[in-house]
Amino acid sequence: MAHVAAATPAAARWTGRIAFTRGLRRLGTVALVLAALWGFWEGYKWLWQTTGWTWPFLVDDTTMPHIHDILDTFGQPATTGGPALIHPLLDAAWFTAKEALAGFALGAVIGFALAVLLVHSRLLERGLLPYIVASQTVPILAVAPMVVVGLGSKGVEGWKAVAILAAYLTFFPVAINALRGLQSADPRAFELMESYASSRWSILWRLRVPASLPYLFTALKISATASVIGAIIGETPASIQEGLGGAIVNFNQYYSLQPTFLWATNIVCAVLGLLLFGLVALTERLVLRRAPEHFA
């Protein structure tokens, strides 16, 4: 018995080591991919510049600045005597993240509520779904100024109006996927619930919603990144300066002089989107308890 007791902590240490190695390997893969991208960018730039090729576009330090120059920009002041670029960019990122998160949450709640409503009424599904789809064909660039100006005249702060625009982009994938997910359980599982004479409410919470979660999380991953895009796009026509959208418009104007500023801003936008995506993926891992085939 003593032998067995001694083996247990050793086994725990062993599984710990496996997890550690696995994590390390994953990190290595990420580093490798980043290095490959770096190599591709710099290699492309070098090849086009030495050969003088101009197709499909002219390659120079303005169109494709060196990666190390872009990274270097984070440490340089954006305005003479001002703080390093990274500080205003992080402020802008926080501002946009606030809009995106609020929009994401709002859109997810509205999308899910719509799906629950539609799944219980064939009539509503037939009547409302075309308009829900149509809502997504209206360009957000056209809607943005109307929403921001319209809500602004009612005294709503700019960032809240932008959050509503982000919600406008995020509710759609959630509604469509959740609707599908709420209908995804085996017909026999519905018969089983019927055999217990369960209420619609019971069927919703004990069967439809748990069955919909893999679909829902897929939608939330799409929406997480879409909400960042929605926030950035919402800021631009509304002339909101404090966020990443404002920074993009601003640095766009100085592109020929300081191309690295815009590229640095793009990197921050991408990281923000990745962070939100990662947050959803992490939640999925913690929440979802399904058979392995349900994990994407």
Partner 1 sequence: MTAAENARVVSIQGLTKSFRTGVTALQDIDLDIAPGEFVSLIGPSGCGKSTLLRIIGDLIRPSSGTVLVNGKPAHRARLDHDYGIVFQDAVLYDWRTVTRNVSLPLELLGWDRARRKQRVQEMLELVELTGFESSRPWQLSGGMQQRVSIARALSFDPALLLMDEPFGALDEMTRERMNMELLRIWEKAGSTIVFVTHSIPEAVFLSTRVVVMSARPGRIAETINVDLPQPRGAATREEPRFFELVTAVREALAGGHGEKRSAAAEELY
Chain residues binding partner 1 by CB under 8 A are 186, 188-189, 191-192, 194-198, 202, 206-207, 210-211, 213, 288-292, 294
Give whichever of 212 and 258 is closer to partner 1, judged by the CB atom: 212
- Smallest gap, in angstroms, from Cβ of residue 193 to partner 1? 8
What is the distance between the terminal CA atoms of the chain, rounded to a whole angstrom?
43
> Using an 8 Å Cβ cutoff, are 89 and 243 in contact?
no
Give whichever of 121 and 202 is closer to partner 1, judged by the CB atom: 202
Exposed e or buried b for every residue in 69-92, given b needs 16+ CB within 10 A? ebeebbeeebeeeeeebbebbeeb
Q: 249 burial class (0-12, 13-18, 19+ CB within 10 angstroms)?
A: middle
- Smallest gap, in angstroms, from Cβ of residue 199 to partner 1? 9
Give whichever of 142 and 191 is closer to partner 1, judged by the CB atom: 191
- Smallest gap, in angstroms, from Cβ of residue 23 to partner 1? 25
Which residues, 6 or more positions from 114, have their beta carbon under 8 angstroms from its beta carbon? 128, 132, 171, 175, 179
Query: Which value, to the nearest 10 degrees, does the dihedral of the CA atoms of residues 156, 159, 165, 171 take?
Result: -100
> Using an 8 Å Cβ cutoff, are 169 and 230 in contact?
yes
> Using an 8 Å Cβ cutoff, are 114 and 171 in contact?
yes
- Smallest gap, in angstroms, from Cβ of residue 215 to partner 1? 13
Give whichever of 190 and 255 is closer to partner 1, judged by the CB atom: 190
- Smallest gap, in angstroms, from Cβ of residue 211 to partner 1? 8
Give whichever of 175 and 185 is closer to partner 1, judged by the CB atom: 185
CB neighbourhood size of 125 (10 A): 15
Give whichever of 51 and 293 is closer to partner 1, judged by the CB atom: 293
Give whichever of 40 and 196 is closer to partner 1, judged by the CB atom: 196
- Smallest gap, in angstroms, from Cβ of residue 240 to partner 1? 42
- Smallest gap, in angstroms, from Cβ of residue 278 to partner 1? 23
